[in-house]
Structure 1
Amino acid sequence: MEENQLFPVFFKLHRLHVLVVGGGNVGMEKVNAMLQNCPEATITVVSLSFLPELEGLAKSYANVTLIHKAFSCGDLLGKDLVIAATNNRELNQCVWEKAKGSKVLINVADTPELCDFYLGSVVQKGNLKIAISTNGKSPTVAKRLKQVLQEALPDSLDDVLQKLHIIRDKLKGDFAAKVKKLNNITDVLVNPDTKEL
């Protein structure tokens, strides 16, 4: 039976430069998703046309650049990640080939076999962020799980994280002792019968 062998990572987008090829609905969706997760993300969008909503978004973020032109290999220079988000399969294939040749990680929207990474559904409660992947099988299921988790997880989790961060910084002892103490403290999160905090 096939299993999800993806290795989850969280990119620090404020340190990377992302190229999005395509200024339509899919390009807008990808740019918006990145900015929701990291408003400081540096994003360049290359396209022959742009949705007015994307143009408005770019005006609101100085770190989003729209370039009105056809994609070319030179657009990959200095980029860390690429998202091909056009409705033209041949163009997406071309972007994929150029990205692979330039050793740049790429996501081709709605084409799992041409993706080095996926953009998962994300649940966020302050500093807590959970990414959901269905290994490209069903983005709809991922969106539904996002809704369930968003409602199920209390907003107060961020307060818990902040307090645990303070406690961790004040703990004495070696790494193993600190881990043991933090495990005891956080046991209450998974075992409601735990009395010790």
Structure 2
Amino acid sequence: MSKPEVRARARASAVQADLHYQPSYPPIERGASLLLAWRLDGRRVLLIGGGAVAASRLGFLLQSGAHVTIVSPGPLEPSIAYRVATEPDHITWHDRSYGSSEGGNVSADDELPVGDYDMVLTAVDDVALSRAVCLAAREARTPVNVADVPPECDFYFGAQVRRGPLQAMVSTSGAGPKIAVIVRDLVADAIPDNVEDAIDGVGKLRTELRERAPGVGGELSKRRMRWMIGTCDAWTLGEMGAMKDEGVRKRLLDDGWEKNKVLGPEAVGVGSGLSARATKALHGAAGLWAAGAGGLVTGAAIATLATLYFVRR
């Protein structure tokens, strides 16, 4: 056996030995969607349809800052008509049908080709037209969503809840939209009323910390991340709202960050409460207890009630 072959076998044996001592990792479960927060501010979106389903899409698109081109003959669904009248800088409406469904071909609509947009959505009853739009969009590499036809969707909307900057989405990858809505409502009920204050306070603290310790990567960046995580673990959501106060943030940075310490709320004069770590532990315990209480929805409901009890005290 040649020396290169000996070295190759030695390396293979070393790799196998390393794998033998690695901890067991969970199996990969295929079939999930990649959940992302997609930034559409200033992007162009084509929305084909002017009914109730299109209306449900339009609100999300406008909240994201997109410019929406709507193609649909009037009369429009009332909420869409209202948005067209009150959001002229963000909506362009073409009072006509899109393309042609003859032979499933949309090429006739040369005025508004799908490739000119960053995203395309159809919400019409014309199955042939929707399929043709989907094929044209995929050929143009434009992400497309065909309402109520999961195989012809590159992305799903899911069931969403928003509290200021906080957004949460529950998705079943199009398999059970009603289940997603039920779980979404449970999640929404479990979110503390003052979560916006917590996000505002932590966001300001994080910004001021980055001003004191700028940069990406390296030991300083790692230390900054560890300190922020430790600080958030030491505060409950209800207490984090106090970080909106400039004096509280200054004490956390001067007496905490600068001295390499994590300070809890009591250390800076904020009222004490159940620790964030304890709340998380109780939440996890409630979820495990609820799992045997009779299925997904029942278990989630019990876990939510337990979480609400502990978080809102």
TM range (shorter): 0.7 to 0.9
TM-score (norm 2): 0.57
Identity, % of aligned positions:
24
Q: 1:165 aligns with which of 203, 206, 217?
A: 203
The residue matched to 1:15 in structure 2 has which SS?
Answer: coil
In the other structure, the counterpart of 1:29 is 56
In the other structure, the counterpart of 1:89 is 127
Q: 1:42 aligns with which of 67, 81, 96?
A: 67
In the other structure, the counterpart of 1:111 is 149
In the other structure, the counterpart of 1:56 is 82
Q: 1:185 aligns with which of 231, 238, 244?
A: 231
Query: How big is each residue's C-alpha offset from its partner over 1:96-126, in whole Å with a ceiling of 9 and x where there is no partner?
Result: 1111122111000000001111112212122
Contact map agreement 1:168 1:178 (CA 8 A) in 2: no
63-72 or 101-110: bigger deviation: 63-72
Query: Matches of 1:105 and 1:127 in 2, distance apart?
Result: 25
Contact map agreement 1:106 1:117 (CA 8 A) in 2: yes
- Deviation (angstroms), 1:7: 1.2
Query: How big is each residue's C-alpha offset from its partner over 1:52-87, in whole Å with a ceiling of 9 and x where there is no partner?
Result: 412222101111121022322542253100001101
Contact map agreement 2:52 2:77 (CA 8 A) in 1: no
CA RMSD of aligned residues (A): 2.2
The count of aligned residue pairs is 192
Q: Which has the larger radius of gyration?
A: 2
When you count helix as a share of all residues, which structure comes out higher? 2
In the other structure, the counterpart of 2:38 is 11
In the other structure, the counterpart of 1:68 is 95
In the other structure, the counterpart of 1:154 is 192
The residue matched to 2:278 in structure 1 has which SS?
Answer: coil
Contact map agreement 1:47 1:69 (CA 8 A) in 2: yes
Q: 2:180 aligns with which of 139, 142, 147?
A: 142
- Deviation (angstroms), 1:130: 1.1
Q: 1:60 to 1:117 in 2, by over 3 A?
A: same
The residue matched to 1:31 in structure 2 has which SS?
Answer: helix
Query: Matches of 1:73 and 1:25 in 2, distance apart?
Result: 27
TM-score (norm 1): 0.87
Unaligned residue ranges in structure 2 (runs of 5+): 1-27, 99-108, 214-219, 237-275, 281-313
